[in-house]
Structures are given as C-alpha cells and as structure tokens.
C-alpha cells in the first residue's frame, strides 16, 4: 500500500512539474523552441511572415501577438496558485489515513477540470488571435496564406490535419 502511495505521489509531482513547464513555455509565447534562441511560430504566423505586408500591418500584427502573449502569461501566473492549491489538496487526500476515496476522487476531478479549462482557454485565445490577424489581410494575401497554411500544417505535426504524428 505504501509503495502505491509513493508511486502515486511521484506521478502527481511529475504531472505538476510538466504542467508548470508547459504553462511557462506557453506564457513565453510558444509551445517549445526550435533552434538556438528561436521561438516556436504557429503555422499561421509562419505564413504571415512570408507575406510582403506594409510596415503598418506588420506592426499591428506584432502588437496583437504581443498582447496575446502577455495575456497568456497573466493567465498562467494567476493559474499557478490555483493549481498549487489543487495539487496540495490532492496530496493531502492521497496521504490521509484512513484513505477517503471520495475526497481523493474529488481532488483528482478538481485538477482535471482546471487543466481542461486551461487548455480550452489557450485554444480559444489562439483562435481569437488568428481571427484578428486574418481580418487585417486583403483577399490576395488571404489566398497566399491559405496555400502556405496547408503546407505548414503538413509539416507541423498537427494531429488530424495530415501532419507528422
């Protein structure tokens, strides 16, 4: 029984560290790094970079991207305390003697619910950013982005879109 508790505690700590690391990466503006000192660029942004946009449009897009990153960072920072509390509650429920299965299940469900909400908020934020960027483009630029975007998706590993899986 003690070995199972230790394994579970170790798994919880690993999940917490992975969550913190992923959130920190997202707060920094990407889902990882590609090359020395280079931020990951979403497929749409890679395509936008290939366009010959006016300086005004480039600045407007860069402003939107920066605001999105700052918003993600603020969301991550405010969520850290919540996640820490949830994992603390889980650890307490897990190590309680006698083990209260309903309290443990409630603590696990609270973590899952919060993590799902975080993922959903991140996806909605990305969709809102993409929509705002696309609204700034002319029909000709959109046609170019459409072709490029299809190629980028093939190489980005986006599940369900034909990329590397």
Q: What is the pLDDT of residues 81-140, one digit of tens each?
A: 899 999 999 999 999 989 899 999 999 999 999 999 998 998 899 899 989 998 988 888
pLDDT band at residue 16 using 50, 70 and 90 as cut-offs: low
Give, in order, the Cα–Cα distances in Å from 122 to each of 75, 80, 88, 117, 132. 9, 15, 24, 9, 15
Q: In sequence order, what are the residues at sequence separation of 6 or more whose Cβ sits closer than 8 angstroms to the Cβ of residue 36?
A: none
Question: CA 145, CA 148: separation in Å to the nearest integer?
Answer: 5
pTM value is: 0.63
Q: What is the pLDDT of residues 37-74, one digit of tens each?
A: 444 567 788 888 888 888 898 899 999 999 998 998 88
Domain range holding 43?
A: 2-156
- Tell me, yes or no, whether 165 lies in a domain: no
Let me know how long the chain is: 165
- Tell me, yes or no, whether 81 lies in a domain: yes
Count of domains observed in the chain: 1
- Tell me, yes or no, whether 161 lies in a domain: no
pLDDT at residue 163 tops 90: no
């Amino acid at each position: 029984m003690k070995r199972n508790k230790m394994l579970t505690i170790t798994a919880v700590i690993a999940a917490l560290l992975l969550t913190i690391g992923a959130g920190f990466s997202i707060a920094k503006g990407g889902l990882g790094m590609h090359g020395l000192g280079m931020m990951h660029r979403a497929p749409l942004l890679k395509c936008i970079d290939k366009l010959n946009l006016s300086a005004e449009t480039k600045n407007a897009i860069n402003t939107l991207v920066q605001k999105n990153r700052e918003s993600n960072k603020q969301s991550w920072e405010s969520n850290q305390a919540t996640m820490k509390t949830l994992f603390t509650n889980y650890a307490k429920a897990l190590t309680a003697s006698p083990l209260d299965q309903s309290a443990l299940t409630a603590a696990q469900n609270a973590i899952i619910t919060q993590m799902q909400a975080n993922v959903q908020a991140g996806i909605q934020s990305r969709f809102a950013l993409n929509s705002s960027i696309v609204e700034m483009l002319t029909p000709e630029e959109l046609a170019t982005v459409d072709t490029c975007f299809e190629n980028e998706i093939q190489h980005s590993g986006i599940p369900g879109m034909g990329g590397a899986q």
